[in-house]
Amino acid sequence: MATVKFAVPKGSIEEATFKILEEAWQKVTGRGRTYRVKLSDPEIDVKILRPQEIPTYVQEGFYDIGITGKDWIREANADVKLLLDLEYGHVRQVIAVPENFQANNVTELIEDFAKQKRVLKISTEYLTTASSYMRSNLAYQKFFGSAEPIIITPWLRVGTNREVEIFLSFGATEAKPPEDVDAILDITETGTTLTQNNLKIIETIFESSAVLIANKNSLNDPVKAEKIADMVALLKGVVEARKKLHIFVNVKEENLKTLLENLPALRRPTISKLSEDGWFGVNTIIDKEEFIKMLPKMREIAQGLVVLQPKQILPLDELKQVIY
The per-residue pLDDT for 30 is 81
**From CA 212, how far away is CA 8, in angstroms rounded?**
9
pLDDT tens, residue by residue, 224-255: 999 999 999 999 999 999 999 999 999 999 99
Annotation: CATH topology of 4-89+209-241: D-Maltodextrin-Binding Protein; domain 2 (3.40.190)
The per-residue pLDDT for 91 is 97
* Predicted model pTM: 0.90
Q: Could you tell me which of 58, 64, 46, 48 has the C-alpha nearest to residue 14?
A: 48
**From CA 101, how far away is CA 165, in angstroms rounded?**
18
Region 142-152: what's the mean pLDDT?
Answer: 97
**Run of H or E residues at 229:** helix 222-241
**Run of H or E residues at 259:** helix 253-261
**pLDDT above 60 (res 166):** yes
Region 249-275: what's the mean pLDDT?
Answer: 85
The answer to whether residues 107 and 152 touch, using CB atoms and an 8 Å cutoff, is no
Relative to beta strand 161-168, strand 120-124 is parallel
Count the helices and strands in the chain (H runs, E runs). Answer: 10, 18
Specify the higher pLDDT residue, 90 or 298. 90
Instruction: Give the confidence band of 294 by pLDDT, cuts at 50, 70, 90.
Output: confident
**CB neighbours (10 Å) of residue 287?**
13
Query: Which phi and psi angles does 138 have, rounded to 5°?
Result: -65, -35
Please report the beta strands in the chain, taking only residues with DSSP state E, as ranges in sequence order: 4-9, 28-29, 38-39, 44-49, 65-69, 81-85, 91-98, 120-124, 149-153, 156-158, 161-168, 183-188, 199-208, 210-214, 244-252, 270-273, 279-287, 302-308
State the span(s) of the chain assigned CATH 3.40.190.10.
Answer: 4-89+209-241, 92-208
pLDDT tens, residue by residue, 71-108: 999 999 999 999 999 999 999 999 999 999 999 999 99
Superfamily the domain 92-208 falls into:
Periplasmic binding protein-like II (3.40.190.10)
Instruction: Give the confidence band of 262 by pLDDT, cuts at 50, 70, 90.
Output: confident
**From CA 138, how far away is CA 106, in angstroms rounded?**
10
**pLDDT above 90 (res 186):** yes
Q: Just give the CATH number of 244-320.
A: 3.30.70.120
**pLDDT above 90 (res 290):** no
3-class DSSP assignment, residue 215: coil
**From CA 288, how far away is CA 241, in angstroms rounded?**
10
Tell me the percentage of the chain whose pLDDT exceeds 70: 95
State the span(s) of the chain assigned CATH 3.30.70.120.
Answer: 244-320
